[in-house]
Every structure is written in C-alpha cells, then in structure tokens.
C-alpha cells in the first residue's frame, strides 16, 4: 500500500474480546479488512487469550490491558508496524486502567482510547473529567508533531441528536451536563467529529442497552467516535457507523483516511 493511499480504520468497543471471539470476531476483522482496527473494553490480559486472537494473519497486535483482570483495556491490530508505541499517557492515575494506546506511524498518530464511564449517580464524574482534560492535553501535544486520529468509546453522547431519549437522560452518566460541556470544549477547540462531517441525521447510534430490546427498537446512544485534529481535516474521506455488525452492545465505526 502506498503511504498516500486511502486507509481504512475501524474502532469497536467489544465488551469483552473473549466473548466477541465466540461471535465471529476474527471473521469480522478479515471481512472489514481495516488497516488499523482499534478495540476497547477487551477485559482480558493477552496471556489469557488463544492464539486465534493474539496471532492473526496479516496483522500485528498491540495490547494495553488494565492491571485489574476482566476490566477495561484496549488493543490495536495493525497491518503495518508502527514506528513507535505509547502506552498510556504517563499519568499514573489513568494508566493502570489500560485506557489509552497510541501507535505512531510515519505521518499520523492513532490514539485508541476507552474513556471512563461516569457511573450511576455520577460517582466517577470527577475522575472522568480529569481523564478528559488529560487526554485533550495529550492529543494536543501529539498534534504539534503530526496528524492525530483519536478513536474509541468516549462514553458521552454529545448532542440531543446523539441519543434516542435526551430529556430522560440529562442527569445520567454519558449525557450529564459536565460531560457534554467537555465534549463542547473538545470539538470547539477544532477536533472534528468525523461522522457528523458527513451525516447530520438523527437515529444513528453506536451503543444500545441489552435491556428492553433496545437494539431492535433502535433506542440507542452515539458514544463512539473517530475525531481528527483540525489541521488534518482534508485527509478525512468518509466515516460510517457499521450497525449491521453484531457481537457487542456497541457496533463498530469506520473512518476512511488519506
């Protein structure tokens, strides 16, 4: 592949990589044929996994699990070897939770991020807002060097259009005012929500509760994003939500990038 040709990126919160493997993950990976495939909430250490997940033809794989077993963690499959890797953000408060894995390529950084959930009663809101501020600073520093693509489960629906029942959720985790205000700040600083660059229609979601038959009724939230630094907007070619792919309570999202 030529360095300047269009690349395909995928991000997916799999809600447990061992669970999604049983639902056809490896076939999905090959079928989507992404150049870089970022997973969040893997809930496993690599040594707990079969070779069918740790050694996949055509891909290098990089792991950043949480220290706590069965919790959080991210991993990234990439056809091309990166020139450098950054595990975490060099902030001890966050890095034990396995939330941020960055692959550096010749002309861009791919930041795979699993943002904290604010939790019922907003019990972890302060921690989440601290993480949000820190990752914003982190990607700003990277963007001084080259293009930054940040993807993953941001655990926030930004606008009323981004969830089925905004009024009912105004005090709930993922749609509380402080979380939305941070997203206003992040997008307001110039980062591009790539899906909304192409699609301004309602009823496009990336997460559905397992309860209430929510996915069949499309009662969902759009909380997974590909965002790109403001100086690199011209490189964005297309973005989509792949809601025809099952296996998790989230669906994958894609970005075509030049």
Residue 248 CA, chain-centre distance (Å), reads: 14
**SS3 of 62-129:** EEECCCCCCCCCEEEEECCCCCEEEECCCCHHHHCCCCEEEEECCCEEEEEEECCCCCHHHCCHHHHH
- Distance, in Å, from the CA atom of 166 to the CA atom of 99, rounded to the nearest integer, reads 27
3-state secondary structure of 34: coil
Close Cβ partners of 102 (under 8 Å, ≥ 6 residues apart): 85, 86, 87, 109, 110, 111, 112, 142
Centre a 10 Å sphere on the Cβ of residue 126 and count the other Cβ atoms it contains: 11
The angle formed by the CA atoms of residues 118, 170 and 155, to the nearest 5 degrees, is: 35
From the candidates 153, 193, 224, 249, give the one annotated as an active-site residue: 153
Q: Is 153 a catalytic residue?
A: yes
Centre a 10 Å sphere on the Cβ of residue 173 and count the other Cβ atoms it contains: 20
End-to-end CA distance of the chain: 12
Which residues are the active-site residues? 153
């Amino acid at each position: 592949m030529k360095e300047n040709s269009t690349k395909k990126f995928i991000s997916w919160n799999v809600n447990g990589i061992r669970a999604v493997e049983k639902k056809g993950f490896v076939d999905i990976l090959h079928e989507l044929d992404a150049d870089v495939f970022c997973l969040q909430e893997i809930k496993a250490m690599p040594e707990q996994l079969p070779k069918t997940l740790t050694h996949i033809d055509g891909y290098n794989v990089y792991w950043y699990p949480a220290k706590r077993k069965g919790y959080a963690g991210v991993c990234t499959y990439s056809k091309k070897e990166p020139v450098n890797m950054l595990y975490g953000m060099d902030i001890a408060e966050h890095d034990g939770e396995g939330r941020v894995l960055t692959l550096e390529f010749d002309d861009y950084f791919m930041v795979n991020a699993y943002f904290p959930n604010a939790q019922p009663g907003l019990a972890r809101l302060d921690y989440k807002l601290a993480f949000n501020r820190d990752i914003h600073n982190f990607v700003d520093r990277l963007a001084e060097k080259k293009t930054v693509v940040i993807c993953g489960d941001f655990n926030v629906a930004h606008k009323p259009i981004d969830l089925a029942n905004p009024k009912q959720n105004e005090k709930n985790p993922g749609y509380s005012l402080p979380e939305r205000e941070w997203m206003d700040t992040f997008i307001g600083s110039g980062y591009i929500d790539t899906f909304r660059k192409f699609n301004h229609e309602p009823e496009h979601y990336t997460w559905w509760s397992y309860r209430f038959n929510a996915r069949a009724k499309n009662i969902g939230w759009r909380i997974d994003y590909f965002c790109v630094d403001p100086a690199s907007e011209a490189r964005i070619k297309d973005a989509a939500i792949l809601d025809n792919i099952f296996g998790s309570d989230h669906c994958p999202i894609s970005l075509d990038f030049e």
